[in-house]
A and B are shown apart, each in its own frame.
Chain A
Amino acid sequence: MTQIGRALPRPNARRLVEGAGRFVGDLTPPRMLHAVFVRSPYAHAVITGMDLDAARAAPGVVAVYDGADMATQITPWVGVLTHMVGMRSPPQPALAVGHTHWQGEPVVMIVASSRALAEDAAELVTVDYDPLPPVTDMEAALAPDAPVIHPDLGSNLCWEKRIDVGAVDVAFADPANTVVERRFVFGRHTGVTLEPRVITADYDAAQDQLTVNYSGQVPHMMQEVLATHLGLPQSQVRIVAQDVGGSFGIKIHTYGDEVAACAAARLLRRPVQFAADRYESFQSDIHARDHRVTARAAMAPDGRLLAVDVDDITGIGPYSVYPRSSAIEGNQVINLIGAPYTLPAYRARLRVVFQTKVPTCQYRAVGHPIAMAVMEGLMDDLAAATGRDPVVLREMNLIPDDAYPVRSPQGMLYADLSHQACLTRLKELMGYDALCAERDAMRARGVHRGIGIVSMVEITNPSPMFYGVGGAPVAAQDGAVVRLDASGAVHLSSSVTEQGQGTETILAQIAADVLGLRAEDIRVQTGDTAHMPYGGGTWASRGAGIGGEAMRAASVALRAQVLELAGAVLQCPPSALALAGGAIIDAASSTERMTLRELAQMVYFRGNELPAGQAAELIASRHFRVEGMPFVFSNGAMASYVEVDVETGLVTLLNHWVVEDVGTILNPKLVDEQIRGGVVQGIGGALFEECLFSDDGQLLTATMADYLVPMAGEMPDIEIAHVVTPTSTSALGAKGAGEAGTSGASGAVMNAVNDALRPLGAQISQMPMTPERILRSLGLVP
């Protein structure tokens, strides 16, 4: 039985349900100290003085460090990518030096024998501040008279990019065409990983070796970042990432508090743990989204989309986050708008703006929900303006499934996509015609229901053209090692990490197929730079497509070694042999010749029985990177069915359907559950989640009671179907599934709400669509 495609459960799930997870906070090495941070209470201020003496004298306190102390240990970082021409960001210190730029920026670190004692001491720290004018509104920040956050830069503009392709003005000027325009507002979200950021650093002075257990996705990137900024040889830094309690992109960035905890471990020669509490998470985990987009579209009388013109302005906080930069999100927004459609003309302007708020950076489905919501909102507006069915209008304009490869006006090269097939399947899955009839019947009874459709493209499996060219220490390839032990057991290791998405299971499935084993019999290790091959880790949905492909190639190489050795022993050509059921079999008759264990024991214990000169090697490693394409895109279509209570503004989610093309499906259960989780995060952005600030830059949503995330009771069941178009860039054919759900869900819900509101003459274009905002769109509250 082939292992790829089986809905195998995850071995680590068994451990986790028993409460036997190995999360970083569960590790308490002897003599471990706890780091706690005093953070800036102002969005923008000059530090005029500090009194740390009382804290230093407090019970249990081992050390107290300020920004100047840390500056002697940690070099500042600059979060710009060189290929994003003109991008600027100032050097960022681990702890604020002289000047704070957001409420929550770490200012002083207390290290004490317990967290409680460290927190007690933190209360005794006095820092004097001279508040500066906060710069909170992203548009006001660009006004000529706005206070400049980084005076050396001269303005609050981090980066600007323009795209202008085709006859945009002609399309909008022709009175025969239909033109729609909308201004969208997308709130700030954050990841709310259920396990907040946590790091335990330990320094072995005898070996000058820093070992860091961290809750994150990118061990090798962290190794590089810590080595560089702590001034250690990279070989002396070991990063271990075992169980991670959610990450979603939040845990791939450089955080000053984490680096400072590592510096403290080196200074104190003791293990130091920093575990953010939830309040700190909201103030210091990266935020995301935060866009205002003005967009218009022109359509010919026959329904053909002619042009789209977009202006996106996005606020990123005071620094572009290192090392990936905070401009990628906006860049992806303007690159992905219109992606599913044949679009002859496109113009876009992106401005990325500094503010005195929590920094924003990449979070699950970077830029995608914005791009999809904007384009699909425009499509619905075009349909409504011309009395067309929204699905029919999409069918007319989707790039045909047999047209690939296709280059978009933004220059993105799309291949192996299936928009038409996905939309057709979606219509079937949701019973589109019957659902429209039901909606209309309910409307006639005064119940306001709406259907929202989204076609989408997701960026997955990035090639080196993404970060590498910009100078970021982010590996674009991943590595895999496959080894056969004397027992006949197969062990895998991979540079891709496991955060619950099932990496370890799918890697085992891939190797199992190549080696003729059951996936259950294979052991997989991930997440330790001391033992794993070098690679990028987990981000941008690359585990299956890149890590999996490397594992396939390594398995093929091990199989060749096994067959060659077996051929030498059995005195037949390797091509006459094959692997199945843990044994070497005769390829023609399928009769067993010897087991893997027998071969391995001969190789390892009785090498004298091998022909002279025969390599006695049962281990193979391979790396894989995407070539020829900057990304391997995946695509899909989604629909949402909602009911809007026009008296309370509450939205009830009735149904949600997803059709996704992630290429070869390695494990359907894992793929579907990742998509569902992604959909729910997208729904969160559409209806609930928002980081709100006061005008003076104080974070108002700093607890889970203030920041709403979707809960079980509000979520519908989510039906999923697949179209399978393997990517031609790899043998396995897998694309990525991690962004899939999040990318389109918020746009689908917004379109559904607007479909419900349309007969009432109302429209909402701001996320999250809170009850108050819905009532405002209906003119029921001011």
Chain B
Amino acid sequence: MRVTFRLNGEATVIEAEPRQSLADAVRAAGFTGTHHGCEHGVCGACTLRVDGVAVRGCLMLAVQAEGAEVVTVEGLDAPDLKAAFVRHNALQCGFCTPGMLMTAAELLESGHVPDRAEIRDHLSGSYCRCTGYQAIVDSVEEVAQARHGAKP
């Protein structure tokens, strides 16, 4: 089926089988930053944003994205967050990282400064097998504070 949507800011038309997931579709379109860790909605590696909301790309069908605004990690405009991840070494293998960034970006746009417990809670749908999470929490906390004018 033909699906027309905006993908990372560009008008995009793809041919998708009805059973194809959105994660598979964006990967096939060349945005391989969206990863498959489980394909059943648990690990969070496939998280992308559809109309501003973080969704699991493995649980959404490509055809459901008709007319939507889809953003993957490649199109995620959060240089401060990405830089903080690098600075804090908040990633090791980097496989979870796109999903983590998409999830964290959503929290950071919520308009308040979350504390560490809230950050941990918000990220609990995204598995990281490498890092131990602490550096990720440090990064998100620092960006949240910086965006609200607090000193890091």
Chain A residues within 8 Å of B, Cβ to Cβ:
9-10, 12-21, 23, 25-26, 116, 191-196, 243-248, 277-278, 499-502, 669-670, 673-674, 676-681, 703-705, 709, 711-715, 717-718, 741
Contact = CB atoms under 8 A, between A and B. Distances in A.
Interface in B78-112: 82, 85-89, 91-98, 101
B12 interface: no
Given A704-B40, A709-B127, A21 B89 contact: no
Interface stretch (B29-37, B60-68, B144-152): B29-37
A20 B30 CA distance: 10
A756 B128 CA distance: 29
B39 A248 contact: no
A10 to B, nearest CB: 7
Interface of B: 17, 19-20, 27, 31-40, 42-43, 45, 72-74, 76, 82, 85-89, 91-98, 101, 116-117, 119-121, 123-137
Contacts of A12: 94
Contacts of A13: 85-86, 89, 91, 94
B94 A17 contact: yes
B32 A717 contact: no
Contacts of A678: 132
Given A12-B94, A21-B94, A245-B35, A713 B120 contact: yes
B39 A277 contact: yes
B129 A18 contact: no
A189 to B, nearest CB: 12
A516 to B, nearest CB: 26
A16 B39 contact: no
Contact of B95 (A194, A680, A705, A715): A194
A246 B130 contact: yes
Given A23-B95, A245-B93, A501-B92, A677 B40 contact: no
B85 to A, nearest CB: 5
Contacts of B119: 712
A677 B131 contact: yes
6 contacts: A192-B127, A195-B37, A195-B95, A679-B132, A712-B137, A717-B137
A9 B32 contact: no
B14 to A, nearest CB: 15
Contact of B127 (A21, A277, A673, A711): A711
Give the most central of A194, A247, A679: most B CB within 10 Å: A194
Contacts of B72: 19
A192 B125 CA distance: 16
Nearest to A706: B42
Nearest to B28: A28
Contacts of B39: 277-278
Nearest to A13: B86
A677 B73 CA distance: 23
Contacts of B76: 19
A704 B44 CA distance: 11
Contacts of B27: 26
Given A194-B37, A500-B94, A681 B129 contact: yes
A20 to B, nearest CB: 7
Given A18-B73, A243-B94, A500-B92, A26 B82 contact: no
Contacts of B92: 246, 499-502, 673-674, 677
